[in-house]
Structure 1
Amino acid sequence: MPEVPLDFPRAWVEFTNPDDESEVMRCDLTWLTSSYQCIFGGGCRGIYADAPDMGCCTLGAHFADKDDERRVAGFVAQLTEDEWQLKPAGDVRTRDWVEKDDEGARKTRVVEFQGQQACVFQNRPGSRQGMGCALHILAAKQDRSHVETKPDVCWQLPIKRAFRDVERQDGSTYTEVTITEYDRRAWGPGGHDLDWYCSGNTEAHIAVEPVFLTHEPELVALMGEGAYAELRRHCEAHVRSRSALALHPAD
C-alpha cells in the first residue's frame, strides 16, 4: 500500500520563538526530517482521478486575506503569454482570475480546459509555456522564490501551520504555533475522499535531503528567521539520534 495510515507515532519539539517570547513553536520533527518532496510532473497522480495532470490545483486557491490577494495581483499583472497559457486577451481584469466560492470566500478561478478542471493559472500538459503554475514559472524566470508570487495556501502545502492560545497554570499565556504535515485531514472532511494524496504516500518520499532543508524558504516565511534557525538545530540533532518509532513510515 503506497499511502500510509494517518496515525502513527511522531516526535515533536517545543521551543520559545527567539524573536517573539509570546510564541512557543511546536514542530513535528517526524515530518520535517522526512524525505518528502513534491512530485508534480514526476509521478503525481492528482488529487482527483479525472484530472491526473492537475496535481492539487483542481479546486483553485483560497486567499488568506486581502493582503494575500493584493500581493498575488501584483504578479498577475506581470504575467505574459510566455508564462500563462490561459491568459485572456487584452488587459487582465480581476474577474478573469478571481471568483467566490459558495460561501462568498474569494479564490482563484477554476476553469475547464482540455477536459480537465483546474485553477486558471495551471498550464495544461503540452503547453509551450510549460506545464504547471504560471505564477511558479514567473518566479523561476525572475529568479525569485515562488513564496513571493503564489497564494499563501499554494506555497505552504503540504506544510501546515496552526495557532492556539494556551493558558499556563500560573495564569500566564502564550500562542502555540504548530508546524506539521498537511495531511488529508487538513483539507477538511473532503480530504478523505481525495483519490490520491502525496504527503503520506511512499511514492513522494524520495528526496535526498529532508523537508526542513528542501522547504527552507517556506519555513522561514511561516516561522521567521530566528525560529527557523532554532528549528534547524533541533532537526539536525534529531536526524543524528532519532529512534525507529520517530521515522515517517512513508520514508
Structure 2
Amino acid sequence: MRDTEETGLDFPREWIEFPDPDDSDTIVRADLTWLLSRWTCIFGQGCPGIDAENPDDGCCVHGAFFTEADDEERVRKAAAKLTPETWQNYRADYADVVVDDTLADDDGVEQPARKTATVDGACVFHNRPGFSGGMGCALHAQALRDGVHPLKYKPEVCWQVPVKRDYSTVERADGSVAEITWIGEFDRRAWGAGGHDFDWWCASAPSAHVGAQPVYRSYEAELIELIGKGAYAKLAELCAERERIGQLAVHPATRKALPLTVAPRPSS
C-alpha cells in the first residue's frame, strides 16, 4: 500500500485573477499553487481509498450527489448504455439506481437531494476487483468505449473533484459589481465536516502528486467545462508563464513528491 502521509491544509498559495474574455462582468480567480501542482488520480494504482477498510473503492464509498436535474438526466442516459457485462451492479430499472437523501446548503440547513445508490458500501456504478467487465466506474469505462470524455457520462461531482469551483459577488468602491468564479483545490474542508473523517484524501497526499503534467494541463477538459474555452485559454497562458518564471508557493505535497522537478527558479 502507498504511503498515506498528507501535508497540512494551510500553507502559502498563489492566486491569479483576470477578466473572463467571454464575459466582461465576470472575474476568474484561480489558485496557481493547486493548478501547477502535480496531483493526479491514482485510483487502481496504489490509492488507499478514503475508507481504510475498503481501499479498492477509492472515493466512491458514499455514492454521488447530483448537482441538479440536468446532472441526473445525463447520468440516466449514460446508464442506459450499460449492460450486465459492463456493469457489475446492473439495474434494468433506473429507479433502483438513485435514492432520495439530504444535503446541507451553504447555511448548514439540510435540503432534499438525489444521489446514486450504494451497494455493499460503494456507489452502485462501482465495479469491484475481479469483475470480468473491469474494475472501476462503469460510467467512466463506457465513456472511453464510446470515445467521449468521462465528464459527459459521470455525475458532476465525480469529474470535478478535486478541483473546486465557487462563486461570489463583489461590489467595488465605484458601485460596480463583479461576479467572481473561483477555481481552487477541493481539500478535506470542501466536503464539510465529514471530510475530516476520511482515512485519506488525495489532494494533500504526496503519493498522489506524481503526475506527468500540472493540473491545469491534465484537467484541461474539466476546466474548460467549468469556466469556458476563452477563460481556460487565458488561464493556461498565465499558468504556463508562471511555470516558466518559477513559483513562489509550490504545493507542499508536490514539493515533497517531486523535490527535484518542481519550482524552477529563473537564472540570475
TM-score band w.r.t. shorter chain: over 0.9
- 2:119 aligned to 88, 111, 123, which one? 111
- Among 230, 233, 237, which residue is 1:229 paired with? 233
Aligned to 1:23: 26
Distance in 2, matches of 1:9 and 1:241, equals 18
Equivalence map 1:63-212=2 (5 Å): 63-88=66-91, 92-102=92-102, 103-112=111-120, 117-212=121-216
Number of matched pairs = 243
Report the CA distance between 1:93 and its aligned residue: 1.8
Displacement of 1:104 in angstroms is: 3.0
Percent of matched pairs sharing the same residue:
50
1:246 counterpart = 2:249: yes
Letter in 1 for 2:176: S
Gaps of at least 5 residues in structure 1 are none
User: TM-score, normalized by length of structure 2?
Assistant: 0.89
Cα deviation digits, residues 94-126 of structure 1 (max 9, x gap): 3211001245310000111xxxx1000000111
How big is the alpha-carbon RMSD for the aligned residues of Structure 1 and Structure 2?
A: 1.1
Distance in 2 (CA, whole Å) between partners of 1:188 and 1:123 is 27
Q: Secondary structure at the match of 1:60?
A: coil
Report how far residue 81 of structure 1 moved: 1.9
| Structure 2 residue identity aligned to 1:77 | A
CA distance in 2, matches of 1:173, 1:242: 33
Q: What are the within-5 Å matches in structure 2 for residues 46-65 of structure 1?
A: 46-65=49-68
How far has the Cα of 1:82 moved from its partner?
2.6
The residue that corresponds to 1:5 in the other structure is: 8
Which position in structure 1 is the counterpart of 2:264?
A: none
Greater relative CO, 1 or 2 (CA 8 Å, sep 6+):
1
Which residue of structure 1 lines up, in the alignment, with residue 48 of structure 2? 45
Separation (CA, whole Å) in 2 of partners of 1:42 and 1:56? 14
* TM-score between both structures, scaled by the size of structure 1: 0.94
Q: Which amino acid aligns with 2:39?
A: Y
Aligned structure 1 segments of 4 or more residues deviating by more than 2 angstroms: none
> Shift in Å at residue 242 of structure 1?
2.5
